[in-house]
A and B are shown apart, each in its own frame.
Chain A
Amino acid sequence: MNVMSFVYGFLVLLGVFVFQTTLTGLNRKVTARLQKRYGARWYQQFLDIFKALRKDSTSHGWVFDFGVIMALGGIMATVIFIPVAGFEAFPGLDNIFVISYLLAVGMLGMAMSAAGSGNPWASIGVARALTNMLAYDVPLMIVIFTLIFAFDSSSLSEIAALQQGMGILGWNAFRMPLGGIVAVIALLGMLGKKPFDSFIAPTEIASGPMVEYGGKHLGFMFILHEFMTFIEVSIILSLFFGGGATIWEYMLKYAVLYTFMNIISGVMPRFKIDQAVKYFYRVPLAMAIVQGLVVIFTGLGVTLWF
């Protein structure tokens, strides 16, 4: 741990922000085209964020502010831990549990801030978001558990590296196909994309947790959302799609995966929150457990089997 690590960390943050925000802008266009609209310009997302940061804002008390800072701080710390194409600002800290629980700090900060606004819509949104998390995370964690057992490592970069150099079939998504499917479905849930977006449901609960935000608070939330998207997609990318040997490969794969998620989301209706739970605990959970048992008892998937 030296000064350079912090400089690298800062650069990672900047790079990720630019990359992901651009990608989000492009995907707004993709979604628009799916819906037969023209869509906004690719840099519209940047404009939105900076506009929000410039505007006046209202605050509902210190926890409203503190929560926002804690959320962004936690999420940014998590981003720094994410290995990108084998590069880590702080080597050796890319433990999957650390990342997924540090992510929770950000989420808790966000939830705290939202509930601190005093708006019941926000609380309802948070309640749904947490329920949603319980739904997607258990199957996903079981699959991740299987990976850790299989490769004796809980390091994201190590698991990513282990899949490289064997062609496309070396990816865990193909070695452990059931796990791969679960991961992709869970990613939809993580990203809050349809059909698992009931916690922000704008027409129903007025955007849920976000209802009271404006000005710089909203700007923070936008940035936070970009970072969070990056973390979530990166986790799945590294664990199941081999990460990337070079930064370009990584970005390309990332863009494809993210756009794919967006396209699925574009054509989906919305689950009610209890339906989402039921769904996750029926199909993906069963698949995750079957995958886990197969790996633990037969070893299929740890070694290449085709």
Chain B
Amino acid sequence: MSDLRELYQQVIMDHNKRPRNFREIEHANHLAHGNNPLCGDKLVVYVRLEGDIIEDVSFKGSGCAISVASASLMTEALKGKSIEQAQAIYEQVHKSMLGEKTDRSLLGKLEVLSGVKDFPARVKCATLSWHTVHAAIDSDHDVSISTE
């Protein structure tokens, strides 16, 4: 069970039970649907960009504990950041899930997500919201992405 406790840390459990920024943004100017057909995870990520600053970011949807917690942590980490900063964080998160060396100062609380590196079948759960926010920011219209 020790590996499990590492995966399902308190932070993950807390964000799963009480996801932050779990709401729609009424005047979102970027939005994307994320879908993991294998496990049925579905979420929508809303972004309000002002210039290149992420003024607000939120999500709605349902999924496993890893995907919900990851989405919740993602919104906390990216709010108020510039697109460039968000990109840097996104890359660090991605590296941490692959077990590569990371910059801890950028990663901060997101380090808890690196637990999935020992659970290959679960990496997609943790990356879904990150791929989705990436697609939302990159596109001017509603896009759908799938992790399969």
User: Does B bind A?
Assistant: no
A contacts, CB < 8 Å to B: none
